[in-house]
Amino acid sequence: MNIAVIGTGYVGLVTGACFSEFGVQVTCVDKQGEKIEALERGEIPIYEPGLDEIVARNVRGGRLAFTTDGADAIDRALVIFIAVGTPPSEDGSTDLRFVEAVAREIGQQIDSYKVIVTKSTVPVGTSDKVRAWIQEELDRRGDKTRFSVASNPEFLREGAAIGDFMRPDRVVIGTEAMDDYAIAIMKDLYRPLYLNETPFVETDIHSAELAKYAANAFLATKISFINEVSILCEEIGGDVQAIARAMGLDRRIGKKFLHAGPGFGGSCFPKDTQSAAHFARDLGHEFSIVEASIRVNERQRMRMVDKIVGALEGEPEGKTAAVLGLSFKPETDDIRESPAISIVRALLERGVSIRAYDPAAMVEAGLLVPEMTLCKDLYDALADADVMVIVTEWNEFRMIDLDRAKELMANSRMVYLRNIYDAERLVAAGFQYWSVGR
């Protein structure tokens, strides 16, 4: 089978590479010429463990190709995935400009049956718009070509994307009523996963679209929930990690996403919760739990800034903070909506100098916040710092040589926002410490 994946970002590139690994013939399309040229040279534009090998192997095998020429890729494909970005607009709604542009390009191009699959995260009803945009373009040129539309939301996690695509918890496929042909084609495409007994959720197109938002909003709510518990812990002198463990061992609750910290970030949770709240309001309903999760998350970030300012004895002006971790989570270079970035900005505004280090996200972060000093490693960042702030729990921050850190720093203070240290160890090493919910 021939497929085209339009939009070669995190989702598009992983999707294209993994389908080619299944033996499908894949063309990944992107309008950014430099990105496609880099991929053709074998350079992977994102940091995603394992992706480079899969891409190289399948390019060599002739199953994976990259192009800026959407028309040609669309012509040859039976299934066309839309995997472009769906960024938030000012008011929190979803900007569908890129999805519309691709849908119209498809409508201008197709002259044989295709299944058009939305993989981007899009508000409920977008697939109807995709159908309308394609149909409008076909009508404009008097073409009667038939096509199906489907929704196949993506649940992969950055940093673990390959495993998530190859061994997903489930695959969700939404199609229009009675579209057995499209379902059969989608099943054929995902056959290796069917054989692995991956659960498939076949449903109507609107439910598939909503399933993605419901899942992300629920996970974001779990994070906000435990963060709210962490505030109570700080009041009573409790331990949020013990509480999270006590909760998480209950299988009805589950252990995941119960880590207190600086709040959720990344390219998905903040925008998807905003979008869900927005389209619910458009439907005349307040998605109250999601609205509350968003508010708790915003407050949590600012609480982290207060914590750091507190560690600087309430006098941040002229002090230096060593910020460890800039990406929104470990194993990715993605800094979109990273709590680290908003914390750094808030500290800069209060007159704090920032010495920052991240194993993967330095280049992007440096472009975004040029006022901070980028350091070559974590110990370089600690030089003369008044406080060490661990924002992202990269593995290399779990075993810092505290004696060496103490020698390098102006003051032995650590604010760890991810609860990856034991208080006893820090006290024994002569550090003052601040954590979340303990």
List residues near ligand NAD by CB under 6 A.
6-12, 29-32, 35, 70, 83-86, 98, 101-102, 120-121, 154, 156, 158, 267-268
Q: Please give the distance of CA 99 from its chain centroid, rounded to a whole number.
A: 18
- Closest by CA position to 181, among listed 114, 265, 88: 114
Q: How far is the CB of 200 from ligand NAD (least distance, A)?
A: 18
* Minimum distance of ligand NAD from residue 400's CB (angstroms): 29
In this complex, which beta carbon is closest to ligand NAD, that of residue 268 or of residue 387? 268
Using the minimum distance from each CB to ligand NAD, give the nearer residue, 67 or 411.
Answer: 67
Least separation, in Å, of the C-beta of 30 and ligand NAD?
4
Beta carbon nearer to ligand NAD, 99 or 354: 99
- Work out the number of other CB atoms within 10 angstroms of the CB of residue 254: 12
Measured from the CB atom, the residue of 110 and 405 that comes closer to ligand NAD is 110
> Which residue, 27 or 412, has its beta carbon nearer to ligand NAD?
27
Q: Which is nearer to ligand NAD, 59 or 383 (CB)?
A: 59
Report the nearest approach of ligand NAD to the CB of residue 154 (Å): 4
* Catalytic residue list contains 268: yes
Smallest gap from residue 38 Cβ to ligand NAD (A):
11
Smaller CB distance to ligand NAD: residue 99 or 304?
Answer: 99
State the catalytic residue, choosing from 18, 28, 233, 268: 268
Closest approach, Cβ 79 to ligand NAD, in A, equals: 16
Q: Checking DSSP bridges between strand 353-357 and strand 373-374, what pairing results, if any?
A: parallel
Chain residue whose CB lies nearest ligand NAD: 9
Minimum separation from the CB atom of position 161 to ligand NAD (A): 7
**Which H, E and C letters describe the chain, residue by residue?**
CEEEEECCCHHHHHHHHHHHHCCCEEEEECCCHHHHHHHHCCCCCCCCCCHHHHHHHHHHCCCEEEECCHHHHHHHCCEEEECCCCCECCCCCECCHHHHHHHHHHHHHCCCCEEEEECCCCCCCHHHHHHHHHHHHHHHCCCCCCEEEEECCCCCCCCCHHHHHHCCCCEEEEECCCCHHHHHHHHHHCHHHHHCCCCEEEEEHHHHHHHHHHHHHHHHHHHHHHHHHHHHHHHHCCCHHHHHHHHHCCCCCCCCCCCCCCCCCCCCHHHHHHHHHHHHHHCCCCCHHHHHHHHHHHHHHHHHHHHHHHHCCCCCCCCEEEEECCCCCCCCCCCCCCHHHHHHHHHHHCCCEEEEECCCCHHHHHHHCCCCEECCCHHHHHCCCCEEEECCCCHHHCCCCHHHHHHHCCCCEEEECCCCCCHHHHHHCCCEEECCCC
Q: Which residues are catalytic?
A: 268
